[in-house]
Structure 1
Amino acid sequence: MKTKHFALAALALSLAACNNENEILNNDGPVAAQFTADIYKAVSTRVNSEGTGFTDNDCIGINSEDITNVPYVRENGQFGPKGTTIYFNDTETKTFSAYYPYREDSELQNGIVSVNTDQYGQGPEIDFLFASGATGSTSSPTVSFTDKTDKGDADNSFHHRMSLIKFTFKPGDGLIFNGMEPADYTLDGLKHEGTFDTATGTTAVTAAVESPITMQLGGATTSQVIILPQGVTTSLDLTVSFNGLDYTTTLPNPSKPEANQFSAGYAYTYNITLNNKGITVEEPEITPWEDGETNDVSITL
């Protein structure tokens, strides 16, 4: 394992959505920075897990004024350095940021990740989280990426930086699923190419035009799509394939926290009811990640 003498460093990282502080190991020479972290409103899970926090083999990248993209990987419930061990070497207080999931330097261009959220790009690898503002020093080496607002301090926990659209499909009048659930759905009206900045946690849309995304259901009646935060400039058209027929409707645009905008860190839930005569869509609910709205939709032939 390599050791690099930056002005600050991290030896052991504990990121299991916990807040326990570790014992200081060395008071005479360089002092190991010790990290704790949680995910904001962790009662809502990341897309790849039914749990409320990080899972083993998750890897995050640490940044500060002196270091760039230092990886820490979670093993046996704790995060530790992956290849590089670094330490605080002076008494100056340092400020850290971190992002998930980690990207190798070869995948970055000036710290920026290219993102594609089409059906082939869906998964935890685009569920970007970002934390910032956590500090540490030789005299206070525990760097906490946690929400400290209950103690009158800052919220330095990890926040979702993408938007999430969730669908629940229900049978309405004249229909039953009973083992013959909808096969897939296609959502049109969104842009799927963009970027994520690992140093600032910001996203940007780079696609010039909207394009459809088709998601297979495989017998499920719920589904979710991670998208880049973006304004809605056209109608959101939904087509659901059920029993060899296509049910179509136009979804209502988001109304909060900002009208006609899918905002970073928010999940938008659409309840979709298929009927013999069409689709019913309830008003969308936005839930944590952040508080929001739900839409119910009915689709009729």
Structure 2
Amino acid sequence: MKTSKYAWMAAAVLALAACNNDEEFTDNGPAAAQITAGVSGPATRAIDNQWEADEIGVMVTDAPTSNMETLYKNVKYTTTSNTTSANFTAAEGEGIFFQDADEKVTFAAYAPYQKTDGYAILPGTAADGVVSGSTADQSTREKQKAFDYIFASGATASRANTTVSFTGGNAFSHKMSRLIIVLKTSTTDGFSAEEVKDGTYTLEGLNHSGTFNVTTGEAKAKTTETSTQVESWSLTDYSLETDDDTQKTKTFTSILYPQTYTALTLKAVIAGQTYTAALDGIEDNTLVSGYSYTYTVTVKKTGLKVESCTIASWTEGGSYNGDATMK
């Protein structure tokens, strides 16, 4: 009888402990979301294929049973990683926390992060998530990164599985367009590599004013009614420029709002002589979101020769040919 009494007491203690454990599992305060992210395609940023200690804005797009969608519209997460896939963390106590135990929550994210006065406020002058900007000056990598917009959506998580994975089909993708112009010469073309390097280059026909919507990932140039195309945009002064002495090439890389243009014209002034070349061939004269277009131009004293336009990194943009004239 005494043994039975102690056995009953032990069973009661175990039952109470089990009850307490259940309560701790279902009611131990909000669980924090864990963010991991990659970028689809072979390139993640404007130039190379790695995160660069980036900041992203994360939002809840669907929360069926809680108010998470209202609470979390623009939460900053950061990484110190310089790899192609990275884990992101929020400042202590400032991340996203799951509210309901059984709720499946859907997330979206964008970069670069746009600062707001609170997690529940969207960026933009009207707090609608629409951010205006200009690509007119992108002479440094940091300036380009400021509008190299990327976006991810569709990742889901819950309190039982707190990892929000922006990878695979839910990975970040580029939302701007990229235009690369490679200038090359040789000893048989009449100009030296130094003369090509010392030349000045402009591009006519682009629209540099545009918007990015952090909630949908849509990037687009403003209409001609609200923004005019730049007649003479200096690649030499305002586009990211690199030289390759081995290949005797000079490369201008530009990040642009997706847009439809009337015509693109490259103008070069080399050794006091002015050359022009029409950059033709892109379908419907439209720079498409996520696509990268590379024109290779051979600089000759008889004129500029526009060779095939090929894809470099992002999504394939096509291959084009054209001719040039000398003024």
Superposed pair shares fold, TM > 0.5: yes
Distance 2:281 2:255 in 1: 16
Alignment of 1:1-301 (within 5 A): 27-28=25-26, 29=28, 30-41=30-41, 43-47=42-46, 49-50=47-48, 52-56=49-53, 58-65=54-61, 66=69, 67-75=72-80, 78-82=87-91, 84-90=94-100, 91-105=102-116, 108-109=124-125, 110-119=128-137, 123-147=144-168, 155-171=169-185, 173-182=188-197, 183-208=199-224, 209-211=228-230, 212-216=232-236, 217=241, 221-232=250-261, 234-255=262-283, 259-295=284-320, 299=324, 301=326
Match of 1:23 in 2: none
1 CA distance for matches of 2:278 and 2:81? 46
Higher-Rg structure is: 2
Is the contact between residue 33 and residue 95 of structure 2 (CA under 8 Å) also seen in structure 1? no
Structure 1: runs of 5 or more not aligned = 1-25, 148-154
Instruction: Give yes or no for contact 2:196–2:299 (8 Å, CA) kept in 1.
Output: no
- Tell me, yes or no, if the aligned pair for 1:240 and 1:247 is still in contact at 8 Å: yes
3-state SS of paired residue (1:284): strand
Letter in 2 for 1:126: F
Q: Deviations over 1:69-117 (max 9, x none)?
A: 1111112564211461331121211110000000112662321111211
Write the distance in 2 (CA, Å) between the matches of 1:218 and 1:242: 18
Distance in 1 between the 2:318 and 2:80 partners? 37
- Secondary structure of 1:60's aligned partner: strand
Q: Deviation string for 1:38-89 (max 9, x for gaps)?
A: 1111x23522x53x22112x11100114211111111256421146133112
Q: Percent identity?
A: 32
Structure 2: stretches of 5+ with no match in the other structure: 1-23, 62-68, 118-122, 245-249
Contact 2:281 2:321 in 1 (8 A): no
Q: Which has the higher strand share?
A: 1
Structure 1 pair 44–242 and aligned structure 2 pair: CA distance change class (3 A): farther
Verify the 8 A CA contact 1:97 1:132 in the aligned structure 2.
yes
What is the CA deviation profile of residues 257-298 of structure 1, one whole-angstrom value per residue up to 9, with x for unaligned ones? xx3211000000000111111111123223431123244556
Q: In structure 1, give the amino acid aligned to 2:112.
A: P
Q: Secondary structure at 1:97's aligned position in 2?
A: strand
CA distance in 2, matches of 1:86, 1:286: 38
Q: CA deviation at 1:215?
A: 1.6
CA contact (8 A) 1:273 1:299 kept: no
Q: CA RMSD in A?
A: 2.3
